[in-house]
């Protein structure tokens, strides 16, 4: 029964996004999508914890339900990101809308996508207070940004990842 409830919740979550939220300007931002899925996961987590504490579901079912919600959210976020900014998708859409387009026009449109993504990423880092812009226009890392970089660097060293990106 709990699996059916979670499947219903996930279906309602997707339908709410498709029918309502994707049309709202705020949901064009990656941050809003992440918050939307974070809140959904928090709701499922709370329900699963209560059900486990009451003995309604066991440990394995609890883990399975949380894993299913996590996989759904992670898959949704990955697909949203790919659809939102994929160079390949943008090229295909542009070519499909025109009978003929030059290679130079395609490359120019991709440069614009890249520049927009960089501007948006810089804005996101500033809004998360990971970086700050000085009045002279230079960008510096914040204390929180430094802590994040140090943590990720440690993880990279521990997992033998040689280079980021």
Q: What is the pLDDT of residue 11?
A: 92
How many other C-beta atoms lie within 10 A of the C-beta of residue 66?
A: 16
Q: What is the pLDDT of residue 83?
A: 67
User: Is this prediction's pTM over 0.75?
Assistant: no
Q: What is the pLDDT of residue 26?
A: 86
How many other C-beta atoms lie within 10 A of the C-beta of residue 143?
A: 10
Q: What HEC string does the chain produce?
A: CHHHHHHHHHHHHHHHHHHCHHHCHHHHCHHHHHHHHHHHHHHHHHHHHHHHHCCCCCHHHHHHHHHHHHHHHHHHHHHHHHHHHCHHHHHHHHHHHCCCCCHHHHHHHHHHHHHHHHHHHHHHHHHCCCEEECCCCCEEECHHHHHHHHHHHHHHHHCCCCCCC
Q: What is the pLDDT of residue 84?
A: 64
* Average pLDDT value for residue range 32-40: 90
Residue in the structure block whose two tokens are 């949901």:
27
Query: For 82-129, what is each residue's pLDDT tens digit?
Result: 766 666 667 777 777 777 788 888 777 777 777 777 787 788 888 888
What phi, psi does 71 have (nearest 5°)?
-60, -40
* Average pLDDT value for residue range 143-151: 87
Query: For 41-75, what is each residue's pLDDT tens digit?
Result: 999 999 999 999 999 999 999 999 999 999 999 88
Q: What own/partner pairs with CB < 8 Å and gap ≥ 24 does 153-160 have?
A: none
């Amino acid at each position: 029964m709990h699996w059916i409830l979670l499947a219903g919740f996930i279906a309602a979550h997707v339908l709410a996004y498709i029918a309502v939220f994707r049309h709202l300007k705020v949901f064009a931002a990656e941050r809003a999508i992440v918050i939307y899925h974070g809140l959904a996961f928090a709701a499922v987590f709370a329900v699963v914890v209560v059900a486990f504490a009451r003995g309604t579901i066991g440990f394995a079912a609890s883990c399975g339900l949380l894993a299913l919600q996590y996989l759904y959210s992670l898959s949704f976020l990955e697909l949203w990101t790919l659809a939102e900014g994929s160079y390949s998708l943008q090229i295909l859409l542009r070519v499909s809308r025109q009978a003929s387009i030059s290679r130079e026009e395609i490359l120019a449109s991709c440069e614009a996508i890249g520049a927009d993504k960089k501007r948006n990423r810089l804005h996101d880092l500033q809004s998360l207070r990971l970086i700050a812009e000085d009045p002279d226009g230079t960008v510096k890392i914040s204390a929180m940004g430094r802590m994040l970089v140090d943590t990720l660097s440690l993880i990279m060293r521990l997992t033998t990842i040689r280079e980021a990106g």
